[in-house]
Amino acid sequence: METLTIHPENNEQMKAIKAVLKALKIPFDQKESPYKHEFVKKINEAEKDREDAIILNSDEDVDNYFKNLKSDVQD
C-alpha cells in the first residue's frame, strides 16, 4: 500500500481532510512539523516574493527591461 503526505495550507483544510479521512474510516497519523511556525511563514513569504520578481538573466534582458520602462513613461 502507498503512503500519502498531505500539505494543507491552513487549519480549515486540515480539519476538512481529517473529516474526510474519518468518514472513510482511513487511519492516519498526525505529526507536528519539525519547523517553527515563524520559519515556515518566512519561507512562504520569500516564495511569494520570488513569484512576483522580475528576473533579468543577461545584459540584453536588462537593456530590454529599461527600454520598455522608458517607452511606458513617454506614452
What is the model's pTM?
0.45
Q: What is the 3-state secondary structure (H, E, C) of 16-70?
A: HHHHHHHHCCCCCCCCCCCCCHHHHHHHHHHHHHHHCCCCCCCHHHHHHHHHHHH
Q: Which residues contact 54 (CB under 8 A, 6 or more apart)?
A: 65
Q: Which long-range contacts (CB under 8 A, 24 or more apart) does 59-63 make?
A: none
pLDDT grade, residue 58 (50/70/90)?
A: very high
pLDDT for res 54: 85
How high is the pLDDT of residue 71?
65
Quote the CA–CA distance of 52 and 25 in Å, as a whole number: 42
